[in-house]
Structure 1
Amino acid sequence: MTHALGESDWGDWLPRAIEDADPDTVALWYLGCNGFAIKGAEGTVLWIDPYLGLGDPPRTIRMIPVPFDPTDVTVGDALFITHEHSDHAHGPSQAPILANTDAELVAPDDSLAVADEEDWTGRWDVSADQFTEVTEGDRLRVGEFAVDVVAVNDPDATHPVGYVIEHDSGTILHGGDTKPTDAFAELGDEYDVDLGILAFGSAGAIPDKETREPKYTKWYADETEIVDAANALGIDRLLPTHWDVWKGLTADPTALYPHVRSFDHPRRLEIVEIGDRVDL
C-alpha cells in the first residue's frame, strides 16, 4: 500500500534554503525519517530517501511534520534510495522531485520494482531513462561526488544497500536502516568516514500489517547496536536518524551519549531535528 502524501504547513522555505545555499564544503539537511538533501560546494545536489508520506495509520503513525511539498523542489542531480520499504521508496514523495529536476534515480533492483509497481512513469512526468539500477560494489560519479554502493545489514528489507559518498571535503556514509554486521570492520578500514548516518529507534507493540493486532516490533538499531556499528565503521561523527518518525518506535538520541563515551568511535555525536543543517 502506498502511503498517502502529507500536506506540509512549512511552506517552501526548506527547498528554497537548499536551492539558495552556497556551502564552503558539503551541507546536509535532515528531512526527518531517514531522508537527506546533500549539496556540495560546486552546487551538486543529492537526495537520499526523502519521505513525505503519512504512514499507514493506525499501524504506522507519523510523529513529525511534513517539511515541504515535493513539487516545490527545483534542484537535484540524483535521488538515491537505500531499500524498498514505503518510507524509503515512495512515489508521491520522490517522483515529483525527479519530474521537476530531471535527476537520476539510483536504487537497487527491489526499490526500482516499487517505481514500476506504482507506475511512476505513467503517473508522473518521469522517464525510465532516469532510472539507474545499482548493487553492492558499484561506483558512480554525480557531479563533484563519487558514490560507492556498499553492503548493509537490514534483515527486514529484501535488498538494502548503503552509500559511501566521497567529496574533497570528506566522506559520508548513509547506512539506510542497517544494524551491525561483521562487514563494517572491513568498510571502516577501506573508508575514512567523517559523518555516518545510521538508523536508531526503540522497540514497540505495533499493529500487525495483516491482523492489526499489536505485535512486538523492532525495526531499527538500539543504543548498543548503533554504537557497535559506528565503532566498527570508525565513524568520526555519528548522526542518528529514524528515531523521530513512527509512534511507538521513537527514541531519545541524547541517550546515546553514555553509550559512545568509552569507545574510540564515534568521536562526536551529531544530534539533529527535522529541517536542521549540518556541514562537513
Structure 2
Amino acid sequence: MTQSDWGDWLVRDVEDAEPDGVAVWYLGCNGFILKGREGTTVFIDPYVGLGSPPRTIRMIPVPFDPDDVEAADAVFATHEHTDHVDGPSQAPILANTGATFYAPDDSLAVAREEENWTEEWDVTDDQLTEVAEGETVEVGEFTVHVEAANDPDATHPVSYMIEHDAGTFFHGGDTKPSDEFERIGDEYEIDLAALAFGTVGQIPDKQTREPKRTRWYNDENQIIECAAALECERLLPSHWDMWKGLTADPTALYHHANSFEYPRRLEIREIGDRVDL
C-alpha cells in the first residue's frame, strides 16, 4: 500500500471542519471531498496510487492514507480507469466507514471482478451500487444527479451534479466537450465545475511501450468550451498536476476564458486546497 507523504492531517482537517455551506477539498488528479454543514461527507474519484511507472508517473504527493479515513457517507466513481476506480485507494474507505460506492456498470466490474473488493477488503456487496445517466441518489444533505460525460478513452463514463442548499457542484470526470452540456447548463445553476485539463504529451503505449502522442484531458480551448456550455460560475481545473508528460499550467486559462461570459471566475487550486460553496 502506498504511504501518504502528508500523514493524516488532511483527513483530520476534513473531519474537524464545520463549513457554513459546503467545503470542497481538491485531492489532486481528479479527486475531491465534499463536506456539508450537517457533516455529510462524499468522496469523488479519490486516488492515492503511484500509477504504473515508467508509463504513468505520479508528479504530486500522496495526500492521505485511506486507512485513516473515519468519516465518509459515499464514494463516487466517474469511470473505470485506474486513477478513478482503485481498490487500495477506495475499498479501505468503504471498509472503515460503511460508506456506499456509487459507480456505472463498467466501474463496478473493476471493483467486483478485476479487483475483488469484497474478498480483499472488509467490503460487502450491498455497498457497491450501480448508477446510470438520468438517475438521482440522495446522500444525506446532498442530492446527486448522474449525468452524461464524453470521454472517448472510457467505456462508460458519467458525470455528477451534486446539489446542496448552499450551491451546486459539477464533477465531469475526464469528460471532453459534449452536446449534452448546453442542456445541463440550462437545467442547473452550477456554482462550481471541476473539469479535467492537461497537455498533449508523449506517453508509452500500454502494449508496445513505444512513446505515443497522447491526449487524455481537455486542452485550453476544450475546457473553456465545456465551462461556457455548462454556464458555470466558477471553473476549477483538475488533473493538470498528475502525470509526467501531461502536466499543464492552469493559469493559462485566464487568457482563454477572458472573452467568454462563462466561467465568470477561475478557481486555481493545488492538491490539498479547499474551496467553499
Q: Do both proteins adopt the same fold according to a TM-score greater than 0.5, normalized to the shorter chain?
A: yes
Name the structure 2 match of 1:111.
107
Name the structure 2 match of 1:236.
233
The equivalences for 1:93-104 within 5 A come to 93-104=89-100
Name the structure 1 match of 2:220.
223
1:175 aligns with 2:172: yes
Deviations 1:4-41 (A, max 9, x none): x4221211000000011000000011101000010000
**2:4 counterpart SS class:** coil
Name the structure 1 match of 2:261.
264
1:40 aligns with 2:21: no
Name the structure 1 match of 2:122.
125
Which runs of structure 1 show a deviation greater than 2 angstroms over 4 or more consecutive aligned residues? none
1:163 aligns with 2:160: yes
Shift of the alpha carbon at 1:131?
Answer: 1.1
Shift of the alpha carbon at 1:162?
Answer: 0.3
Name the structure 2 match of 1:201.
198
Deviations 1:152-181 (A, max 9, x none): 100000000000000000100000000001
How many residue pairs match? The answer is 276
Task: Work out the CA distance in 2 between the residues paired with 1:6 and 1:274.
Answer: 17
After superposition, the CA RMSD in angstroms is 0.5
TM-score normalised over the length of structure 2: 0.99
1:31 aligns with 2:18: no
TM-score normalised over the length of structure 1: 0.98
Identity %: 70
1:277 aligns with 2:274: yes
1:61 aligns with 2:57: yes
Task: Work out the CA distance in 1 between the residues paired with 2:194 and 2:31.
Answer: 10
1:188 aligns with 2:205: no
1:141 aligns with 2:128: no
Which sections of structure 1, spanning at least 5 residues, go unmatched?
A: none
